[in-house]
């Protein structure tokens, strides 16, 4: 059993104060933990559940529903490549194949050096500039295989 | 075609946010002052109803009517529940939709002001913005706008000495398209899995935490200050037909100049397409989804369609979010359908069987068709799914939404899809399966 940090507990308590039922902060608690630790381990999830006042099972039910909660370790930079219709029409498949081959991984995997995790993502709301992806919180638009190489080089 | 800029009038070309001083210099928060000073709490709703504002999230339900379902406690304050809620649906995840992001990034105070007025109108004391998890830039800008509004006394206790108080919070979602369904959104906001709820009871009777709740889309709420400021007649006169006001239109895919623009409701489809530069690379239009991934296709035969709720409805589709996804005549329809149905299959919440099992089946058939592995009877089996996953057969509107483009695809591009089945394909028992109509 691990304990969450002061900062994590404080952030979760703040979120709990925003709802008439503090249990509503279940999702935020998972996000807080993920922000601090990169992903949500079983132990961290159980500790967060204790803070929120729900059971680990309730927490797990929620954690496995939402795709932005990572229940496995991820790389330093998470690439989310939009696979929805507007990007599909403007070259998604070529960019996807290039990303997979240059990183040497498939969707859901992390590079051996721990640098990148590659995930597909629903429409990112960047439809007029597709194909698009996010690396961390940064949007990259008008992707081509060449452009992808330049972008990946920017990340350590 | 000239734009009619109402919601986008303050938005800068580079989308840099309009913070509170600039917002107020440009007439911001005047409508809030007017609403609090000149209108009783129950008088704003009828104004919005009179203006004919309809929900901009896709369903097009009249906003003033939705608000009128909220119970009122002015005459029976003892019965007032602990909280009454306004929830803004900013979970913009409909494929091909990128309009709310523009407003929230470029003019966040417009949404905040609209939310304060809307909360006043429905008697809410607490409001949430339910924001999709990936919109982190929107979060930063909205949070700063909320803080600024607090400092000026537009949020918090006793706003502008009116006696009306409002707390406004941001909730960052953690993904999943189904959160955009209003009852699933409430489940998510309560910290649960985003599974839709049975209706009735509707949220106005029992919504967030069982309290009276109204859920409105971002763009819908952003119309409210303009109606309060300029009146219902002015608003109605903006629309070219029955529906009042302007609408954000967008185009993505194979148009020459993809982007967003604001036009009066009722503008012709062909004119909107022309504004976005027509089809790129000198090609021709094959079809388009007029307002997001779940709106049935329109074709070159529909270019005279007036882009309002009734106009698009009359030709068998929906205005939806009015952000159209356009594809040229070189685009195989099977790929478009496969991509769309993959999205819906993946995003099914899994609660009800037809949706959870039917959508992956549909996707699988389309994948096989595209790969040249189609079987005789596949087209009929897709027809059958359109019926089995249609309105009334599932717990919520997710699967029926997914069937919209499939049904239209089978109607407009049937020969193209049929031709994908190899002549020498062995006939398994699928034809029989399709013919045994279980309806």
pLDDT digits (tens, 9 = 90+) for B360-398: 999 999 999 999 999 999 999 999 999 999 999 999 999
Partner-chain contact A89 B331, CB within 8 Å: yes
Kindly indicate the confidence band of residue B425, based on its pLDDT and cuts at 50, 70 and 90.
confident
Q: Say what the pLDDT of residue B430 is.
A: 54
Q: Provide the pLDDT for residue B58.
A: 87
Is A82 annotated as ligand-binding? yes
Q: Which fold has domain A77-153?
A: Glutaredoxin (3.40.30)
A100 Ramachandran zone, left/alpha/beta (phi>0; psi -120 to 50): alpha
* Cα–Cα distance measured from residue B236 to residue B51, given in angstroms and rounded to the nearest whole number: 6
Residue B439: the pLDDT is 47
* Domain covering B333-435 assigned CATH 3.30.70.1230 in the classification: no
Of the pLDDT bands very low, low, confident and very high (cuts 50, 70, 90), residue B428 is low
Domain ranges of chain A: 6-63, 77-153
CB B252 to CB A86 under 8 A? Answer: yes
- What is the separation, in whole angstroms, between the first and last Cα of chain B? 48
Tracing tokens 């924001």 back to the chain, one arrives at B131
> pLDDT digit string (tens) for B86-117?
999 999 999 999 999 999 999 999 999 999 99
Among B191, B255, B286, B402, which would you mutate to test the A interface (most chain A Cβ atoms within 10 Å of its Cβ)?
B191
Nearest-CB residue to B258 (from A62, A85, A128): A128
What is the chain A residue with the closest CA to B323? Answer: A127
> Do residues B329 and B286 make contact, with C-beta atoms less than 8 angstroms apart?
yes
Interface test with A, best of B15, B83, B95 (most A CBs within 10 A): B95
Which among A124, B360, A101, B364 is positioned nearest to A109, based on CA atoms?
A101
| Tens digits of residue pLDDT in A114-133 | 999 999 999 999 999 999 99
Give the separation between CA B349 and CA B184, rounded to whole angstroms.
Answer: 9
> For residues B104 and B112, what is the distance between their CA atoms, to the nearest angstrom?
9
B44-51 and B218-230 helices cross at what angle (nearest 10)? 100
What is the pLDDT at residue B308? Answer: 96
CA distance B97 to B61: 19
Cα dihedral A71/A75/A76/A82 (nearest 10): -90
Q: What is the pLDDT of residue A121?
A: 97
pLDDT at B434: 52
- Domain A6-63 classified CATH 1.10.1060? no
**Residue A23's closest chain B neighbor by CA?**
B191
Please state, in angstroms and as integers, the Cα–Cα distance from residue B85 to each residue in B42, B113, B127, B225, following that order. 16, 16, 6, 19
Contacts of B71 by beta carbon, 8 Å cutoff, 6+ apart: B204, B205, B212
Which of A19, A60, A125 to substitute to test the interface with B, most B CBs within 10 Å? A125
What average pLDDT does the structure give for chain B? Answer: 95
Pick out chain A residues at pLDDT < 50.
none
Measure CB to CB from residue A21 to each of B134, B190, B251 and give the nearest one: B190
Q: Give the 3-state secondary structure of chain B.
A: CCCCCCCCCCCCCCCCCCCHHHHHHCCCCHHHHHHHHHCCCCCHHHHHHHHCCECCCCCCCEHHHHHHCCCCCCCCHHHCCCCCEEEEEECCCCCCCCHHHHHHHHCHHHHHHHHHHHHHHHCCCEEEEEECCCCHHHHHHHHHHHHHHHHCCCCECCHHHCCCCEEEEEEECCCCHHHHCHHHHHHHHCCCCCCCCCCCCCCCCCCHHHCCEEEEEHHHHHHHHHHHHHCHHHHHHHCCCCCCCEEEEEEEECECCCEEEEEECCCEHHHHHHHCCCEHHHCCEEEEEECECCCCCECHHHCCCECCHHHHHHCCCCCCCCEEEEEECCCCHHHHHHHHHHHHHHHCCCCCHHHHHHHHHHHHHHHHHHCCCCCCCHHHHHHHHHHHCCCCCCCCCHHHHHHHHHHHHHHHCHHHHHCCCCCCCCCCCHHHHHHCCCC
pTM for the structure as a whole: 0.95
A122 assigned to a ligand binding site = no
Give the residue extent of every domain in chain B: 20-238, 246-328, 333-435
Angstrom distance (rounded) from CA B329 to CA A114: 43
Which residue of chain A has the CA closest to B93? A123
Residues from chain B that touch A14, judged by Cβ atoms under 8 A, are none
User: How much is the ipTM here?
Assistant: 0.96
- CATH number corresponding to B20-238: 3.40.50.11540
Cβ within 8 Å, pair B174-A27: yes
Topology, domain B246-328: Ubiquitin-like (UB roll) (3.10.20)
- Judge whether B339 and B409 are in contact, CB under 8 Å: no
The mean pLDDT value for B55-66 works out to 94
């Amino acid at each position: 059993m691990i304990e969450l940090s002061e900062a994590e507990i404080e952030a979760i308590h703040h979120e709990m104060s925003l709802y008439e039922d503090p249990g509503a902060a279940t999702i935020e608690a998972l996000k807080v933990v993920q922000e601090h630790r990169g992903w949500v381990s079983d132990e961290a999830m159980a500790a967060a559940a204790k803070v929120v006042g729900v059971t680990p099972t309730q927490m797990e039910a929620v954690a496995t529903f939402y795709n932005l909660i990572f229940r496995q370790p991820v790389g330093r930079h998470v690439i989310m490549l939009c696979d929805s219709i507007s990007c599909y029409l403007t070259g998604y498949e070529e960019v996807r194949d290039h990303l997979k081959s240059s990183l040497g991984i498939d969707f859901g995997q992390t590079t051996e050096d721990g640098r990148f995790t590659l995930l597909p993502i629903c429409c990112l709301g960047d439809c007029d500039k597709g194909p698009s992806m996010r690396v961390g919180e940064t949007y990259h638009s008008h992707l081509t295989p060449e452009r992808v190489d330049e972008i990946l080089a920017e990340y350590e | 075609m000239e734009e009619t800029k109402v919601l986008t009038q303050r938005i800068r070309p580079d989308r840099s946010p309009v913070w509170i001083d600039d917002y107020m210099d440009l007439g911001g928060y005047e409508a809030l002052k007017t609403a609090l000073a000149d209108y009783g709490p129950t008088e704003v709703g009828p104004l919005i109803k009179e203006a004919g504002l309809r929900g901009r999230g896709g369903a097009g339900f009249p906003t003033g009517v939705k608000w009128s379902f909220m119970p009122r406690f002015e005459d029976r304050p003892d019965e007032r529940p602990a909280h009454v809620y306004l929830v803004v649906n900013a979970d913009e995840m409909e494929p091909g939709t990128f309009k709310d992001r523009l407003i929230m990034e470029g003019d966040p105070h417009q949404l905040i002001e609209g939310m304060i007025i809307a909360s006043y109108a429905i008697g809410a004391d607490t409001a949430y913005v339910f924001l999709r998890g990936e919109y982190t830039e929107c979060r930063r800008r909205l949070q700063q706008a909320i803080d600024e509004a607090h400092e000026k006394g537009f949020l918090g206790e006793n706003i502008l000495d009116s006696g009306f108080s409002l707390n406004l919070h941001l909730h960052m979602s953690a993904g999943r398209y189904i959160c955009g369904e209003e009852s699933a959104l409430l489940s998510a906001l309560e910290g649960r899995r985003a599974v839709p709820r049975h209706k009735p009871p509707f949220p106005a009777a029992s919504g967030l935490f069982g309290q009276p709740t109204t859920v409105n889309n971002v763009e819908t709420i952003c119309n409210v200050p303009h109606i309060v400021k300029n009146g219902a007649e002015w608003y109605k006169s903006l629309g070219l037909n029955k529906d009042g006001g302007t609408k954000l239109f967008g185009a993505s895919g194979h148009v020459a100049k993809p982007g967003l623009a604001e036009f009066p409701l009722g503008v012709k489809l062909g004119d909107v397409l022309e504004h976005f530069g027509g089809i790129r690379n000198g090609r021709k239009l094959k079809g388009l989804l007029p307002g997001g991934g779940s709106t049935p296709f329109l074709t070159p035969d529909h270019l005279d369609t007036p882009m309002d709720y009734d106009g698009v409805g009359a030709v068998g589709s929906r205005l939806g979010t009015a952000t159209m996804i356009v594809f040229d005549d070189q685009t195989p329809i099977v790929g478009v359908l496969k991509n769309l149905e993959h999205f819906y299959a993946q995003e099914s919440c899994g609660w009800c069987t037809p949706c959870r099992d039917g959508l992956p089946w549909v996707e699988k058939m389309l994948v096989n068709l595209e790969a040249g592995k189609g079987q005789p009877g596949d087209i009929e089996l897709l027809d059958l799914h359109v019926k089995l996953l249609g309105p009334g057969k599932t717990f919520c509107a997710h699967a029926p939404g997914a069937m919209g483009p499939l049904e239209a695809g089978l109607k407009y591009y049937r020969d193209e899809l049929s031709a994908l089945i190899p002549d020498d394909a062995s006939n398994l028992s699928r034809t029989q399966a399709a013919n045994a109509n279980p309806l």
